[in-house]
Structure 1
């Protein structure tokens, strides 16, 4: 049996990734064995990795880094590992993928790192911030609805429409969320509706009755 190669190159070692060894993270390919903790060389998974300044760690050593220095400023490898990690060297492709970006989350306005980034219509979000503004439920690219810059799940979006038969109150709430005002939003006054033909007939009947009563009283 032969395994054909792909055109993908591992971000860590830059060698061809075969299908049986492929691990994809946010569309970026790696060999499964190249996705490792820099300190213990232990193989990582999507549920066990952490990163600092573009360097991968297992969660155990990442927590140890914090306990020893009291913060995440000092690099763990500089003091503990026999294989010193040179912070001055040119960052690899792997490092650049885990380092911070200039993108800010549209919800919380904090920096969005590539591994937790969701992009929607040119806007960036943390995966955990990509939620329905009404119910707080997590959204996906196939389950969201947006109105005036505010995200909703499709269920609550439809529900909000059914409450009043239009989206006027939803637009009002969206504007309220954007401004961050602590005062409740003002009620939107709808223009008066023109009377229908049925309404006009009822009015004419009422007028006729009033006239008949007046005639009876005067006679």
Structure 2
């Protein structure tokens, strides 16, 4: 007796017919297509057992239905991109959605190395220094109108130079007599102490700290012999070739302040009128 060999669904004999073996049994071709074939997302028809099926993001397609939404090119063996619900070949995607390099005006392909700045896009190898013409890449750069410079070229071309060491100032610095200086280069002509943020004065266009200026150039108080610099609002009194700090201009006998008062010179001393009358 011949063993039964029927389709698991329609129970028709499979002898002499094509069939597909599934885990739960054999199926004739019509039953297999009806029960197991996927529906093409594009044409909505079943994808039969004898058709090449393409699968992308939970969607199934006939090979001939898997095409670019714009140019209708087959995407079966081509790179493609999904934009929303639309499948696009690389050419159509780049033409419509990719930016163009501001330097060479060619499309910046998806996934390629690029640089974006101020709403513009460059291929990485097209973004070059306007001076040395070398690619800037991931290095720092400085824009100047429509030009872009690597930091060394910008400093060499535009950055101010220190009056003392002649090297470029990249940050900070001080200005003295409308000339730029590094903070560490702007020092007292006498003791070489940094003057940035400190009180200083000048002699013959050379900067000096208060102490050095006082020791070298300031008048000396005839009473205390210390320099009279005038810094900090200090006032002084002069008489003939002698000078006094305000708080040092006192009577040599009674120590009364003589600022704004009459006084009598007595050799190297100055006296108030009362002490002078006692002589």
Same fold (TM over 0.5): no
Bigger relative contact order, structure 1 or 2, given CA contacts below 8 A and separation 6+?
1
| TM-score, structure 1 normalization | 0.30
Higher helix share: 1
Higher strand share: 2
Select the structure of larger CA radius of gyration: 2
| TM-score, structure 2 normalization | 0.24
